Chain A
């Protein structure tokens, strides 16, 4: 992947994600997140994973985000409530605990990133440089990971039934 394309997509992804959590309007948040996911799909193409990129756009930006959009429209509550009286005050102890956790996570991330070795990707005709076709991925999923695949289908079924039961009129 040419460097400027990586930086372009990375910038779009980070800026869109920042805008998602900086928004008060959930409708705009969802739309910006779709932009972020499309830029991520561009990064996947750069990683020689075109099938993941397509799935990212079709499943994530296409299906999951539409589900979010649907709920946002259905609830018809676009603005985040900023009623100061309704806000529960956060005790100092919990704030301190949260700060400790945040610093801990930042330290862990920085430590992990400091351990990195700057090895470039193998660009020659090794096994790593070959683009995995849909056929390869399908063989891997349905042969080597067949059990995980079946468990996934059960998970989807449970989630579907659970969503119907939860969103039913008489809970």
Chain B
């Protein structure tokens, strides 16, 4: 079996990012949309750590912590918005929230 190279990690990261993007466009549920964003953030995290390991620096791991912090903030605010929206319309379908369209 060939040894694992940086390419394997980058390829896996690209696949995960594509899955996240597909989830954004395919799903009709606000919570699943947020979960897809989390998948994409994790794909990028994997790239950072793999390239950091490849270059022999700690920077890749450090930026991962900042990404995690942003993900936590995004989840908190996003879920608060989801709760506020659900209180108005009793649904999680994005199609129900089109009042700002014209």
Instruction: List 6 A-B residue pairs with CB atoms under 8 Å apart, sorted by A's residue number.
Output: A4-B1, A56-B68, A67-B79, A75-B92, A112-B14, A159-B72
Cβ A167 vs Cβ B80 within 8 A: yes
Q: A74-B83, A145-B62 are in contact. Are A118 and B77 (CB under 8 A)?
A: no
Interface residues on A, range: 35 or more
A-B interface pairs (CB < 8 A), number: 225
Cβ A23 vs Cβ B72 within 8 A: no
Residue interface mask B33-60, A partner, CB < 8 A = 1: 0111011001001100110111111111
Residues of A bordering B, CB below 8 Å: 1, 3-4, 6, 10, 13-14, 17-18, 20-21, 23-24, 26, 29-30, 33, 36-37, 40, 43-44, 46-49, 51-52, 55-56, 59-60, 63-64, 67-68, 71-72, 74-75, 77, 80-83, 86-88, 98, 102, 105-106, 109, 112-113, 116, 118-122, 126-130, 132, 136-137, 140-141, 145, 148, 152, 155-156, 158-160, 162-167, 171
Residues of B bordering A, CB below 8 Å: 1-12, 14-23, 25-29, 31-32, 34-36, 38-39, 42, 45-46, 49-50, 52-62, 64-66, 68-77, 79-84, 86-87, 91-93, 95-96, 98
